[in-house]
Structure formats: structure tokens, C-alpha cells
Structure 1
């Protein structure tokens, strides 16, 4: 522990400032990155197949794509990339980092907004600035796909009903023949106002030694 804290590897100071991770956490994540990438300098989508917990996650595809979405690791980024280096991997991972107890209220609010933006980007799959009914329905269907009691029609009905409720909350009363374009990020912030997100949205494979996710 002392070695990492007193003599960080080159670049660790800059990475710590960008992500909020400690030198020790960066060292642990660098080892996991090298394991997943087979000791290569970049990660590709197929490398995430080595994480068993992701294989059974109903929104696995959204989680994996989040690592290759430029919006999540580059300011004003657009589109996707085919591979990422360690810095991009670490920046995406930082969205799952729980807030420090020593943060100011302003810093805590900034962390919360970043987490919500990350979640929004995961569901805004076509990168048009809104979460549409089709995108929202796709997520709901995936989440409900593990339930044998629900069929496809039931999942669609639930998604449609939930989306209309979201529309009524964010834009007010809607007539049956009105078309709801989708949730903007500002609507998303309002919908989740007061929801305790910071400590819940954390990453399980930060300390992979204890849960054996990398084999």
C-alpha cells in the first residue's frame, strides 16, 4: 500500500485528478485492465466477455457500449470507438465511484450530475439527446426478459404505460393522440430529483480480487 501511495507510477497523479481514484485503486484497476486485454494496450468489446457478472446482466449490451461511447470519456464527444486505452477505461469506471465523505455540497452535486449524465447516455442509444419510447421500451423489455411470467406483449405494455407516466410528469397532461418525443437530460434530472443515487451507483469490479470476476 505504501509503495503506491508514496511512489505512484508515471501518469497516476494526472489520472487521480481526472477520476478521483486513489493511486492504489488505479493500480488495482490497471492490473484488471491488463488481465481483460490479455496484456495489450487497448480493450475491445469482446474482452468484456471475461467478466462473468456481465454475462447474466439483462442490460449487458448497454453497459459494455458505455465504455466505447465517446460521450462518457471525452468532453463534447460524439459517436463510438472500437477500442479504448486505460485512461478511457478508468474515466468510465469513475462514473461508478462513490462520492468522498470530504466532498463539498457543490462537488457532490457535480458527481451526481455526472452519474445521471452517464445513465442518460446509456439509454439514449442513438445519441440524439432524448430517450425515446422505443429506446425506453427496449430497456424495459430486457429487464423483464428474465421473468417467465411476462411475455413480449406484456413487456411492451408496461414500457408504454411507464413512458406515458414519465411524459405526464415531465411535460404535463397529454392527450391520447399526442406524440411524446422523449425525455431530455433536463427532464431526466427533474424525474430523479431527490433519488439517492450516489452511493447506490457503484462498481462491483473495482476490487475484483474479492469476487473473482477475472479468471
Structure 2
């Protein structure tokens, strides 16, 4: 794991800034949160996250916690999960919730969007088989729309139902449809704004404010 000393030096901060897009100030704030959550230990475990009150009412709480221990989210083409993470892994996963800055190219924005959607896909592809079920996809769409504030919960449910019909049309009528691949996931969510709406409240800290 990417373990760090209790007080990372400037070089380590700058290296992490280049990897994640966070400013040095933001990394300092997140490192303080990491130390609070780990009780000044070098690593975090799943049980440490279960004490976070801000996550208690989140309908996908277990998926969010598990995402921090999923090797696929460490940007190293990993597989499987780990039992504990260091500050670098913690920061890498938090970076998926970072909103894009105003001074990035369209190519960089698209790269960020794809990375966020891959993270979201991984979160619901719990068995790591490269697909998510139709019910899981419906839940993803409903949560994205309702949490963005663009529509109400009931409207989001209606759109999610329509999205399932759209998914069914992707495959041939006589084809047994087993699940949604990542490329299909990208195509279906093409019109959904994800870059700034994907955020969580974390350790009494709104990632929409922190990760700008």
C-alpha cells in the first residue's frame, strides 16, 4: 500500500498533487481527515469508515466504503480488494469526487468524466466480472439524477425505468441479455452530467466544496 509517514514532506505532497489533481492545501486537509479517521495509524480499515455519521443514511453506503478497498480504483490496473489502505490510496479514491477546474481542455474533461464513470461502474460491478445487472443500473441512474437536484425522486425513478428499456434495446431481441458492459454504460449515460454532480459528504466535509 502507499503508506506515508505521519507528516508527509513537500515532495510527497507535490507527487500526490500531480497524481490526483488536488492542490497542496487540499491534500493537507485530507491528510488531517485521514489521521482523524485512522486515529493516527498509518492505514485505514473498513471498520474505520463505519463510524462516519455522514455515510449512515446513504443508500449505497456499503458500495462507497468498499470502493476505497477496490484495487481497480487505485489506477494501477489491479484486481480484487485489500484489507487496509494507506493515505495515497485514500487520496486516489477521493480524487474521483473532485470537480473539474475551469482551466482544463475538453480532452482532459472527457478523461475525467470517463474515470468517474469507470469508478461508478466498478462500484456496482461487485463481482468484478465486467458487467452490472439491469437492476444495479437502474439504481445507478436513479441515484445520479435524484442527487444531482435536477429532478425529484419520483421523476428520477421514471427516468430510470425508461433507461432500462433503452438498455434492453441495445441487444438483439432474441439475445439473452446478461448485463451491461462498461462501454454500454458510457453510451447510455452520455447525456447525464457527472463531472460536478458526483460527490459525497465525507467526515463533515462536502466534497463539492473541497474538491474544486
* Bucket of the pairwise TM-score, normalised by the shorter protein: 0.7 to 0.9
SS of residue paired to 1:28: helix
Whole-angstrom distance in 1 between the partners of 2:84 and 2:162: 35
- Where do residues 178-193 of structure 1 align in structure 2 (5 Å cutoff)? 178-193=175-190
Q: Distance in 1 between matches of 2:87 and 2:65?
A: 15
Cα distance in 2, alignment partners of residues 39 and 132 from structure 1:
39
TM-score, length of structure 1 as denominator length: 0.76
> For residue 147 of structure 2, what is the aligned residue in structure 1?
none
Contact kept? 1:13, 1:23, Cα under 8 Å: yes
Deviation at 1:56, TM superposition (A): 1.2
Map 1:1-215 to 2 at 5 A: 9-133=10-134, 135-136=136-137, 139=139, 164-171=164-171, 174-175=173-174, 178-205=175-202, 208=205
Residue number in structure 2 paired with 1:149: none
Distance 1:203 1:104 in 2: 25
Displacement of 1:207 after TM fit?
6.8
CA shift for structure 1 position 163: 7.5
Distance 1:67 1:206 in 2: 14
Structure 1 residues 71 and 43 mapped into 2: Cα distance closer, same or farther (>3 Å)? same
Corresponding residue of 1:4: none
Q: Evaluate the alpha carbon distance shift between residue 9 and residue 203 of structure 1 in structure 2; reply closer, same or farther with a 3 A threshold.
A: farther
- Does structure 2 retain, via aligned residues, the 8 Å contact 1:132–1:181? yes
Greater mean alpha carbon deviation, residues 46-55 or residues 109-118: 46-55
Checking the alignment, whether the CA contact within 8 Å between 1:29 and 1:206 is kept in structure 2 is no
* Cα RMSD after superposing both structures: 2.7
* Contact 2:113 2:194 survives alignment (8 Å): yes
Query: How many residues are matched?
Result: 183
Q: Distance in 2 between matches of 1:202 and 1:119?
A: 11
Against the structure 1 CA distance between its residues 161 and 20, is the aligned structure 2 distance closer, same or farther, given a 3 Å change threshold?
closer
Quote the offset at 1:128 in angstroms. Answer: 0.7
Alignment partners' CA distance in 2, 1:207 and 1:51 = 9
Instruction: After TM superposition, give the deviation of residue 204 of structure 1 in Å.
Output: 3.0
Say if 1:42 and 1:86, in contact at 8 Å, map to a contact too.
yes
- Equivalent residues of 2:55, 2:201 under 8 A apart: no
Q: Gaps spanning 5+ residues in structure 1: where?
A: 1-7, 144-157, 210-215
